[in-house]
Amino acid sequence: MTKFIEILLGYVEEGTPTDGGVLGYVNAYYGCVEAQGRGSLHCHMLVWMDGALNSEQIKTRASSDPTFSERLIRYLDTEISNVVPPAVPGVNVLSGNFHPCSLRGLNGKNDFDSHVSAIQTDLHYLVESCQRHKHAATCYKHWKGPKERRECRFNLGDHISQDNTTFDADSGDLLLRHIDGLVNNFNESILRALRCNMDIQFLGSGPSTKAVIYYITDYITKSELKAQVAYAALELAIVKLLAQTFDDNSIQSQAKRMLQKCAFSMISTQELSAQQVISHLLDFQNHFTSHAYEKLYWGIIDHYVHKNDPLAESVTKDLHEDGTGNTDIIESEWEDEDIVDTIEDLDNVLTNDEEIGVRVEVNGSIGRQPTQLQSYFARGTQLKDMCL
């Protein structure tokens, strides 16, 4: 990942000269590493490009400058592909006989013409193996029956095929071309370097971008329950029950034995892939970022908003009902960094409360530190225009 950021993205620390990366000049990035159901690790990453405009700026610029949308479309069509390039007849490459992911890229020892032909043929096998989607039962796991249209949950198929990229000046929505509806988006340079499945999307304009942004924020704030947190919670519950005395046939005693069985069952059936184990043992990073961020305790703020503005809760509910929410993510109130060591810690996590901080006053006494919400309300006039 470090080399991907350094070489392919071309990101360096601010103030350091750079020639940019395969996408252009990068201002910032943030990536999270997670495991799929089968245990393979992958990274979701947001990349901020230098000079990029937000959705409203793109809409305004496109309406005032007719050539702007043409230049933007030309850039996106160059960087994002979704079609299998044809193999060059008579050109043989190793990826034609072995799985492309198991091979390194071409070494460039051939003459220029032969090398270009070899690159195209190798890319043909790469895209066919890594990017072409094949429908399976999991594609339709959200299908509710014959009364509903049967569509792939990955939104891939002939129905999304589109030959040209179009820009709607009224809505500001940019619809990228999708020549082959069963081929997932990819960047040629990144795919050739990483030689594995990838996806790439442009977030810049229109309602579709807002839906993706909502998905991202919903995704990262609802992480799945960590195994170590679940074990700690069960252990503390058992310890709490063991501290009490019950009759052997009492309901409490039966509950204690049931908890023990659940804990043993979880431990015996928990599966971790080799990649997950190695990543943990070698203390590999689980996220990559170009900037430092302060932790925001969203739970207490969300609770305050819904308590004082019932309309906000109904809007959130409507978004989920419209399908913009992510139904694949386990909806849990547990935080990634939650570490449960005591019964009190467990109670704090379960109620989703903000951590309580203390501070030393001028007179030497210990006082409670204001919460982020209290600090936000009490901010000075110079910070009044700053959004939470």
Q: HSE on the CB side for 344, CA within 13 Å?
A: 2
Residue 90 has φ and ψ, to the nearest 5°, of 85, 0
Give the pLDDT confidence of 337-353 residue by residue, as tens digits. Answer: 333 344 344 344 334 44
Q: Which has the minimum average pLDDT: 41-55, 60-74, 262-276? A: 262-276
234's tokens: 């069960």
Region of 372 on the Ramachandran plot (φ > 0 left; ψ -120 to 50 alpha; else beta): alpha
Q: Which residues contact 179 (CB under 8 A, 6 or more apart)?
A: 82, 83, 161, 162, 163
Q: What is the DSSP letter of 30?
A: E
Residue 168 has φ and ψ, to the nearest 5°, of -95, 105
- On the question of pLDDT at 354 being above 60, the answer is no
Task: Tell me the residue type at 96.
Answer: G
User: What residues form DSSP beta bridges with 166?
Assistant: 175
> In terms of Cα–Cα distance, which of 81, 11, 83, 7 is closest to 46?
11
User: What residues form DSSP beta bridges with 32?
Assistant: 44, 287
| 172 or 223: which leads in pLDDT | 172
The reported pLDDT for the residue numbered 350 is: 38
What confidence tier does 241 reach under pLDDT thresholds 50, 70, 90? low
293's tokens: 């961020």
Collapsed DSSP state (helix, strand, coil) of residue 288:
strand
- How far CA 56 is from CA of 28, 51, 63, 75, in Å, comes to 21, 14, 11, 19
Give the pLDDT confidence of 3-60 residue by residue, as tens digits. Answer: 999 999 999 877 677 788 999 999 999 998 888 777 889 898 999 999 888 888 888 8
Collapsed DSSP state (helix, strand, coil) of residue 33:
strand
The answer to whether 44 and 34 are in contact (CB under 8 A) is yes
- How far CA 280 is from CA of 229, 263, 286, in Å, comes to 15, 22, 9
Give the pLDDT confidence of 69-95 residue by residue, as tens digits. Answer: 889 999 999 999 999 999 999 999 999
The reported pLDDT for the residue numbered 228 is: 59
* Tokens 């060591």 belong to residue: 341
* Tokens 């509903």 belong to residue: 148
Q: How confident is the model over 155-174, as a mean pLDDT?
A: 82
The reported pLDDT for the residue numbered 323 is: 47
- On the question of pLDDT at 287 being above 60, the answer is yes
Q: Alpha-carbon distance 7 to 3, whole Å?
A: 6
Percent pLDDT > 70 in the chain is: 72
The reported pLDDT for the residue numbered 315 is: 54
Q: What is the DSSP letter of 137?
A: G
Average pLDDT, the chain: 78
* Tokens 């032909």 belong to residue: 117
Q: Alpha-carbon distance 15 to 105, whole Å?
A: 33
The reported pLDDT for the residue numbered 21 is: 93
The reported pLDDT for the residue numbered 325 is: 43
Determine how many CB atoms are found less than 10 A away from the CB of residue 306: 14
Residue 167 has φ and ψ, to the nearest 5°, of -125, 125
What confidence tier does 269 reach under pLDDT thresholds 50, 70, 90? low
| 163 or 387: which leads in pLDDT | 163
| 320 or 274: which leads in pLDDT | 274
The reported pLDDT for the residue numbered 308 is: 81
Q: How confident is the model over 175-193, as a mean pLDDT?
A: 92
Q: Alpha-carbon distance 388 to 385, whole Å?
A: 10
The reported pLDDT for the residue numbered 174 is: 81
Q: Which has the minimum average pLDDT: 5-14, 152-161, 201-210, 348-357? A: 348-357
- On the question of pLDDT at 187 being above 50, the answer is yes
Q: Which has the minimum average pLDDT: 43-52, 125-134, 147-156, 268-277? A: 268-277
The reported pLDDT for the residue numbered 344 is: 44
Q: Which residues contact 268 (CB under 8 A, 6 or more apart)?
A: none
The reported pLDDT for the residue numbered 330 is: 33
Name, of 111-115, 195-199, 264-268, the range with top average pLDDT: 195-199
Q: What is the DSSP letter of 139?
A: G
Collapsed DSSP state (helix, strand, coil) of residue 180:
coil
129's tokens: 């193996």
What confidence tier does 334 reach under pLDDT thresholds 50, 70, 90? very low
Name, of 8-17, 185-194, 202-211, 372-381, the range with top average pLDDT: 185-194
* Tokens 């989607």 belong to residue: 133
Q: Alpha-carbon distance 156 to 180, whole Å?
A: 9
Q: What is the DSSP letter of 292?
A: -
pTM above 0.75, yes or no: no
